[in-house]
A and B are shown apart, each in its own frame.
Chain A
Amino acid sequence: NAGVTQTPKFQVLKTGQSMTLQCAQDMNHNSMYWYRQDPGMGLRLIYYSASEGTTDKGEVPNGYNVSRLNKREFSLRLESAAPSQTSVYFCASSAGAGYLGSDTQYFGPGTRLTVL
């Protein structure tokens, strides 16, 4: 049981390049999330998927797109990377279907992205 896995672990992009961050969970969870972590700002929600087949914007969605490929996988795409998107990106999942405050979110190891 690997929990939440993310690829790649590290990535360096040039401004304007695109890339997709991959996330998968093997806990049969219904909800999945993408966060970014910046120094002194805690974690901020980019997008979430409250169930298979649905996606919704979080508090900082600009410059990103997501795809809930199936119940296990939730990818985050940067279409045209900008230096402001330099950050550590975390994927998370939780058991409940629907966006539930009482649900525990379980996090992946993160992707450290640098945009030059």
Chain B
Amino acid sequence: AQSVAQPEDQVNVAEGNPLTVKCTYSVSGNPYLFWYVQYPNRGLQFLLKYITGDNLVKGSYGFEAEFNKSQTSFHLKKPSALVSDSALYFCAVWENTGFQKLVFGTGTRLLVSP
């Protein structure tokens, strides 16, 4: 069963506009959720995570994500996009049944145009 889904392969946004990168999950119980960013030819960089507590999580580089239990979503947001935000973004969730592991989505490419 797919544990995390990123429904958009690519998101295009103009510099200065708000951005949203979507993620939905399907694990039982309380999820542990993560966002990572990957720049070209680089490893994944941790942005933020939700373990428990406040549904709005603030992370690195001005990013934030909102945990919504009723919609099983954990969308990544930023109020004002920068061209330098252009990268590949991965949502991940801890799969807590069967073989427990961190399950990554297939990634969403964010392209911010000047």
Contacts and interface: CB of A to CB of B under 8 A. Distances in A.
25 contacts: A41-B106, A42-B104, A42-B105, A42-B106, A42-B107, A43-B44, A43-B104, A92-B44, A101-B32, A101-B94, A101-B96, A101-B100, A102-B32, A102-B49, A104-B34, A104-B46, A104-B49, A106-B46, A107-B36, A107-B43, A107-B44, A107-B45, A107-B46, A109-B43, A110-B41
A42 B93 CA distance: 12
Contacts of A4: 43
B90 interface: yes
Contacts of B51: 102
A109 B32 CA distance: 24
In terms of DSSP, what is the predominant structure of the interface of chain A? loop
B47 to A, nearest CB: 10
Interface of B: 32, 34, 36, 41-46, 49, 51, 90, 94, 96, 99-107
A58 B95 CA distance: 13
Interface of A: 4, 40-43, 45, 58-59, 90, 92, 99, 101-102, 104-110
Given A42-B105, A58-B101, A101-B94, A108 B32 contact: no
A90 B96 contact: no
A59 to B, nearest CB: 6
B100 A99 contact: yes
